Amino acid sequence: MIPIKLTMQAFGPYKEKETIDFSKFFEDRLFLIAGNTGSGKTMIFDAMCYALFGQPSGEYRDASTLRSQFAAKEDVTYVEFEFSHRNKKYTITRFPEQYKISRSKEVLQRASAQIIVEDELINGIKNVDQKIKEVLGIDRSQFKQIVMIAQGEFRELVSADSKKRESIYRNIFNTEEFKNIQNILKEKSLEYEKKFENSDQRIRGFLESINSINKISYDDFTIDQILSILSKDIEDYEKKLEELKPRKEDYKNKISNNNNFLESINSLVDKNRELMSIDISSLKDEVEFLNKAKKTFLIRDKERILENFKETRSGYTGEKEKIISDLDHHKKNLEILNKEFEEIKFYDEEIEKLRSKVIDIESLKDTVNEKENLENKIKNLENEISSIDDEVKLFKTKLDILNNKHEEMLKFNLENRDVKDKIVHIETELLNTEEINEGFYKYECELGIYGELLDKCKKCEDEYNKISTLYEEKLRDLSKIEDIYFRNQAGFLAKKLEDGSPCIVCGSTVHPNKATLIDSNISEDSFKKSRDEISKIEKEREKIVTDKINLNKDVSSKANKISEIYDEILKRDKERKFINFEKFESCKDSIEQVEFSLAFLKNLLKESKGIYDKFIKSQDEILNIEGEIKEVKLHIDEYEKIYIKKRSDVSALNTILSDKRLRLLKYNILSVSDYSKILKQTIGNLESLINKRETINSSITKCNNEILKLQSKLDIKNKDIEDLNFKIDENEKIFIKSLNSNEFKDVEEYQKFKITEDNYNNRNKFIEDKREEYKAIKLKIKELERGLDNAPYKNRDELFLHIEDLTNNLKEIEECEIKYHKNKSLLENVHRSILEINKDILKREKLRTNLNELNKIANGNNSYKISFERYILGIYFKEIIQAANIRLLKLTNGRFLFRHLKESIDMRSPQGLEISVFDNKTSQERRLDAVSGGESFQASLALALGLSDVVQRYSGGVSIDTLFIDEGFGSLDSDSLQNALECLIDANDESKLIGIISHVQELKDFIKSKIEVIDSNSGSSIKISI
């Protein structure tokens, strides 16, 4: 993340709008923020933190207190921060919660935020915070600790424990996935532990369920031993059940035999009881009753005839009463109708009046229609007038819009009249900048090749020096070997001499003192080998010399080429706007600056061309708008003329309509529907009176006819009743005579013995069945008495007690058998369940052990107290320490060195990211909390720069291209200050933007690029000097 521009208004101590263009520092990449104590130096970094995270950097600052106390009420407090990250530009704007002046009142304005990512706009604090988290990958506290070495917080950076460092580095190096692996292993391990605990609980539960049978402790036996005990118990119960079977069968047989004797005795007793229950005397009474009831069947026909006549008479009597009731009803109706007939004599006069009214209303039909037509015409005219009024308003609105648009376009054309010249200027500058950029790329490419050639020259020089040294050594060795070889020639000849043979040197045949070899290891072959080796080395040296000459020529040629390109770029960049390097220096920073300038010019050109196109189009649009304005004014004039004419027509029609309404007011007729309704109502009233008169006349005639009919029916019905009374008297005499002849005293006695035929038959059958039952019981008693002659117990009570004893014995055996079966079944179920659990345990035991071991190792439950994620972070941490040690050695003149501790003093806490300082001066290792303030600053500076180096190395992590250092330099002596500055210059060479917040005078003299914070009684302001 590299800041480009920061804008603050009414923020902190800054009253006015202050803008800091960080791109001005891209050339030196090192700048100083200077000012008096409390002037607002650190507030610049606070503003950046607030823009990014919605909170300032300090622990004791709150976002609600950021508004400047010097600001005017109408000034809005906000921060706008533009920065680049991974070749993308971001512009973020935040407004804290504040009171805003609206219509002379203070209104609370909620905090808000927005961010522009290239062409995308994101609104809302939550959405902006999420986007910043995605882009940077760290939160506010981590950003503050990595990017800012803050005043009073140097020691916190170096003395942070493993846990705090882990939180910072996790987001920087994206090690969350390793933490997830730890969590998965922990969850899996716990899951398996719970499964095994559940298995143990289940086994304990099963064993508790058989405590009443056999108390087996899970703590005293293994699962295999428990299974063995259960198997033995099951076998014991099987044996006991087999022993009970014969005893049970014996008791069952004895009980069955004795029950048979008991049933026979009970049957005999029951039959005697049945025999005694039959009442002979009651049966005789029943026979006498049935004989008397039989005689009633001889009289029933005569009784039925008499009853029929009586029922018919009763029906006739009911019909007579109905006729009398209807006759009375019609007589009453006739009286009412006669009264109504007297009343309708006065209807004739009313009917004539209604007929006259109907004729008068029918004559108004045309008047009603004419009134309706007039009202419709007036309504239509009113609608037309309203439409015309609306059209006029629309045209006037359109005229206002066209006039405003016309004024805006004239203003736009006036403001952009020189846009074409501006485009030509931008295109010229863009073409020149593109050629400079192309030259930079050529220069950088040639410089790279030049560097490679220099490396090759150096390598060739080293090879030449090496082979020359080797050549000289071998040459010296060959000289020695050659000398010895020639001196060994006499020895070689002496070896071949034999007594009696002449010497080829002196000719003597006697050889008392033969020459000997000076060095027997030097032979002709070894001599030749050394000469061949020298020859080979000499050829290699000659080849290297040739390569060296050729490389020097290439270097010289490439240097000339680079000079030509540099001079060509210099011609185009006469003001040295982009060239901030000397010949043969890298231009990567300048390329970045040129590309930034190119992007800016292209965007500016695009905007200017868009403005120019709009300017050209606006010329025609102005003419079109002027024509439209003229046309709209003509339409307004025409509509106003039509409006006046229509309003006059409405006035004339209203006069005619008033006359029509006055004529219709007599019958309160307001519309055609009212006319139809009143006419229909009047005709209805007329018809109603006529119909009522005719209906009453008809009803009187009809009522008289009905009265005559009913009187005739009444006479006939009286004659029928008289005939029936005679027949009933005759048949009553015949019925009484029949009762006397069949020995019945009266009708009451006859009714007492009168039963239905089915009842008679059933009762008669019952008597016959009882006779047969009596005979059968007597026979059965004799049979049972013969069967009990051989019974062991003649007394039923004695036999019953004997059976009861046998049954109790059988019950005890059955209860014992049920108990054995229940216990055996329970033991079998427990045995089977524990066996299944044991199989599952054995199956999962190895996986459980492996998971537990992996969980302990991965989550730091090991001798080193290092988790899997912390182990991975430790690898990065070692690299950070290595990079930081390069800085620390330089900052402390080789005195201090960081050491990575695998173990700390407190082994109870997580380990792996602990560090200490080794003092080369005292050869002692020191804890970080024991270093002084100046040493703490040096250590934190070295760690911050080391962290930056490692993060840049791993491009997948958080990109740290910016570092702010707040104070701390005041704690350094002059030598340490010089070392710190040299270290920062080295960091500057690595393309980092470094800002130092300090009031140390030596820094002001040393660093050219400055942001000076000037405080006053009316607030602070910012001055930038390059």
Q: Once rounded to an integer, what is the mean pLDDT over residues 926-954?
A: 72
Same domain, 469 and 550: yes
Q: Once rounded to an integer, what is the mean pLDDT over residues 85-94?
A: 90
Q: Once rounded to an integer, what is the mean pLDDT over residues 768-780?
A: 71
Dihedral sign, Cα of residue 142, residue 148, residue 152, residue 156: positive
For the chain, give the mean pLDDT.
78
User: What angle, 0 to 180 degrees and rounded to 10, lies between the N-to-C axes of helices 868-891 and 162-173?
Assistant: 100
Residue 126 belongs to some domain of the structure = no
Same domain, 764 and 849: yes
Question: For strand 30-35 and strand 1010-1014, is the pairing parallel, antiparallel, or unpaired?
Answer: parallel
Look at 252-256, 402-406, 783-787 and tell me which has the smallest mean pLDDT.
Answer: 783-787
Read off the amino acid at residue 627: G
Q: Could you tell me the strand order of the sheet in which 896-901 lies?
A: 896-901, 914-919, 924-926
pLDDT one-digit tens code per residue, 976-1024: 667 667 667 665 555 678 888 887 777 777 788 899 999 888 889 999 9
Same domain, 292 and 348: no
Same domain, 436 and 497: yes
pLDDT one-digit tens code per residue, 531-554: 788 778 877 877 887 787 788 888
Centroid of chain to Cα 464:
70
Dihedral sign, Cα of residue 369, residue 373, residue 374, residue 375: positive
Centroid of chain to Cα 616:
52
pLDDT of residue 154 exceeding 60, the answer is no
Residue 70 belongs to some domain of the structure = no
Q: Is 899 helix (H, G, I), strand (E, B) or coil?
A: strand
Same domain, 410 and 423: no
Same domain, 680 and 730: yes
Residue 250 belongs to some domain of the structure = yes
Residue 977 belongs to some domain of the structure = no
Same domain, 435 and 570: yes
Q: Which residues pair with 1021 in a beta bridge?
A: 1014
At residue 262 the predicted structure's pLDDT band, cuts being 50, 70 and 90, is low
Residue 153 belongs to some domain of the structure = no
Same domain, 710 and 660: no
Output the pLDDT for position 836: 87
Output the pLDDT for position 81: 95
Residue 452 belongs to some domain of the structure = yes
Same domain, 563 and 435: yes
Output the pLDDT for position 311: 81
Same domain, 705 and 644: no
Give the residue ranges of DSSP H helices in 152-222.
154-159, 162-173, 176-209
Of the candidates 720, 741, 762, which is a domain's last residue? 741
Range of the domain at 386: 365-415+590-667
pLDDT of residue 907 exceeding 50, the answer is no
Domain harbouring 340, CATH code: 1.10.287
Of the candidates 817, 839, 858, which is a domain's last residue? 858
Output the pLDDT for position 107: 80
Same domain, 349 and 209: no
Q: Number of structural domains, the chain?
A: 4
Of the candidates 741, 765, 792, which is a domain's last residue? 741
Residue 568 belongs to some domain of the structure = yes
Q: Once rounded to an integer, what is the mean pLDDT over residues 159-185?
A: 75
Read off the amino acid at residue 197: E
Same domain, 376 and 277: no
Pick the residue with more confidence: 367 or 880? 880
Residue 173 belongs to some domain of the structure = no
Read off the amino acid at residue 532: D
Q: Once rounded to an integer, what is the mean pLDDT over residues 297-306?
A: 77
Is residue 149 within 8 Å of 930, Cβ to Cβ? no
Output the pLDDT for position 755: 80
At residue 905 the predicted structure's pLDDT band, cuts being 50, 70 and 90, is very low
At residue 126 the predicted structure's pLDDT band, cuts being 50, 70 and 90, is very high
The burial of 532, by beta-carbon neighbours within 10 Å (0-12 exposed, 13-18 middle, 19 or more buried), is given as exposed
75: which DSSP letter?
S
Nearest to 997 by CA among 301, 17, 38: 38
